[in-house]
Chains A and B, each alone.
Chain A
C-alpha cells in the first residue's frame, strides 16, 4: 500500500540530549566488537579519540569526540517516530533501514547540549516497496548546525493475493 504523500512535511521534535563521555565510549566500544560498559573489550580497535580520554586530551579537540555514526543516539528520534507513527501506518515488521546519509558540520563532544528536529521529506513507491525519508537537523546550545541526517526506510509489502485460482488439477 503506497504511503500517502500528504505526510510529506510532517514534523517531529524538538528532542534535547546532553552528550556524555561514557555514552561515546560505550558506543565506540560496542561498534568495534566489545561489550558496552567494559572499556578495552573491543577487538576491532575503535579510534583512540573516541575511547581514550588521555589521548583525546592531547588532541586538537581537547576531549573525546563522538564517532561519526553516534548521531543514531540523538538524531534518530524523528525517523523512529515517523516509522512508528500510526497516522502514517507503516508495518514495522516489514520495515528496514534502506539508506542513510550524514552531513557533519561540527564535532560532537561530551557536555554538548544538542537539539534535534526532523521532517518527512519524501515518500515514494517502487513496485511492492514503499520508501519514506526523514531529514533530521541537530543544533548545539549556541544554535550552530552540528549534523544533518537523511534517514530512509523501506517497507517490503506482500504481494496481494491472486484473484484467480491456480491451474485446475486434473
Chain B
C-alpha cells in the first residue's frame, strides 16, 4: 500500500475503458438503474442520441477506478466529483488522464480529464481527494 510520502504534485496516471454494447445492460443489472435510455436503443434514439447511452455513474465508476489505482486503496478516498458534460454512447472509448495537483497535510488531490475517441470531453471538473491520515 502507498504512503503519503509516495505522492508528488505532477504525478500522472491514465486509464482507458470502452462502452461495449453490453456495458449499459451489465451496469443496469449491478446498479439497479434500468432507465430505458440506457437499455433500449429506440428510447435513446427518441431522446436524440444515436444509440443507448452509458450511465453517467458508470463513467464515474471508471473515473473512480483510475483514481483508486493511483491512490492504491479504494478506502482512502474522501471526495469524488464530476460533471457529465457529454453522454458516453455505446461504442465510445474513454481515456482518463489524471494529475496530482496537491499534497497538503495528509490529503492528496488529483484532477482528471476524460475524453472520448474523438477527443471530446465527457467529464468536466473531475476531481478526487484521498486522505492518508492514520
Contacts and interface: CB of A to CB of B under 8 A. Distances in A.
A44 B65 contact: yes
Contacts of A35: 22, 26
B66 to A, nearest CB: 10
Nearest to B79: A103
Nearest to B16: A44
A98 interface: yes
With most chain A CB atoms within 10 A of its CB, the pick from B20, B75, B83 is B75
B47 A93 contact: yes
Overall SS of chain A's interface: mixed
B56 to A, nearest CB: 4
B52 interface: no
Given A67-B68, A97-B55, A101-B80, A30 B29 contact: yes
Contact of B33 (A26, A76, A96): A76
Given A27-B31, A31-B62, A69-B57, A99 B82 contact: yes
B31 A73 contact: yes
Contacts of A72: 31-33, 57
A27 B30 contact: yes
Nearest to B57: A72
A30 B77 contact: no
Given A32-B65, A93-B43, A102-B80, A61 B57 contact: no
Interface in A1-51: 23, 26-27, 29-36, 44-47, 49-50
A69 B61 contact: yes
Interface of A: 23, 26-27, 29-36, 44-47, 49-50, 59-61, 65-69, 72-73, 76, 80, 92-94, 96-104, 107
Interface of B: 1, 15, 17-18, 20, 22-23, 26-27, 29-33, 35, 37, 43, 46-47, 55-58, 60-62, 64-65, 67-69, 73-75, 77-84, 87
